[in-house]
Amino acid sequence: MIGIGGASGAIYSKRLLDRLVALSDQAEEVAVVITSNGRINWELEIGTFEAANYPFQFYEEQDYHAPFASGSAKFETMIICPCSMGMIGRIATGVSTNLISRAADVILKERRRLILVPREAPLNLIHLNNMKTITEAGGIVCPASPSFYHRPQTIMELIDTVIDRVLDLAGFQISTQRWGN
C-alpha cells in the first residue's frame, strides 16, 4: 500500500510508483492513496498526475471502505512517500483523519511494516518525538536523505538512492548501488 502525502518531494513518490511497476512480479497487489495536497504538490513539482499511467488500484483519501482500512485485509507493508510532518503527527497520536492515517494505524496495530519517508528540514522537537513514537510502535522512519558514496551524476540517481533504500526496507529484491561496490 502506497500513501502519497502532501509534503514536498513528489518526485520521490513518482519514482517509487515507476519502480513498483517494474517490480510488479514481486508484489501481489499495489494500492495507492494520494491526498489532495499530495496531488497539488505533484502537479506543482512535476506536472499533471495521471493515475491511468499506473496499473495500480487507486483509492480516494476518504474511502474508508478500502480493504486496507481494516486489519482483516492482508496488506503487509505500507509506504508513505513523501510523508508530511502533519501526517507523522497524526499517525504518532493515533488520529485517523483520512485513509492514509487510518491505514497506517491498521498497519501498526497489526504489527506489519510501515515505512515513512519524510522530507523536511529542519526538524523541531515535536517532529523528533513523533518520529520516536512511531519507531517505538514498530514503524520505520526513512528520511529522504540521498547518499553520495557512489558519486551520483544526475538528480534521478540521487532520488534513486532514497527509493532503493525504501524498496530494500519493504523487502523487494532489487539491484542497486551498495556500500563498498
User: Which strand (E) or helix (H) includes residue 118?
Assistant: strand 113-118
- The pLDDT, as a whole number, for residue 175 is 84
Please say whether the beta carbons of 79 and 115 come within 8 A: yes
Is the pTM above the cut of 0.75? yes
Pairing relationship of beta strands 113-118 and 140-141 according to DSSP bridges: parallel
Decide if domain 2-169 falls under CATH 3.40.50.1950.
yes
% of the chain with per-residue pLDDT over 70: 99
Spatial CB neighbours of 3, under 8 Å, sequence gap ≥ 6: 32, 33, 34, 35, 78, 79, 80, 81, 83, 87, 100, 103, 104
- The pLDDT, as a whole number, for residue 129 is 98
User: What average pLDDT does the chain have?
Assistant: 95
Average pLDDT on 173-180 reads: 80
Average pLDDT on 19-48 reads: 96
Tens-place pLDDT, residues 74-125? 899 999 999 999 999 999 999 999 999 999 999 999 999 999 999 999 999 9
Model confidence at 181, in pLDDT bands (50, 70, 90)?
low
Answer yes or no: is pLDDT of 40 > 90: yes
- The pLDDT, as a whole number, for residue 74 is 83
Answer yes or no: is pLDDT of 178 > 80: no
Average pLDDT on 46-69 reads: 96
- Residue ranges covered by each domain of the chain: 2-169
Average pLDDT on 17-40 reads: 96
Average pLDDT on 57-83 reads: 94
Look up residue 20 and give its three cell numbers.
513498483
H-state helical runs in the chain: 10-22, 36-45, 85-93, 99-109, 125-136, 155-169
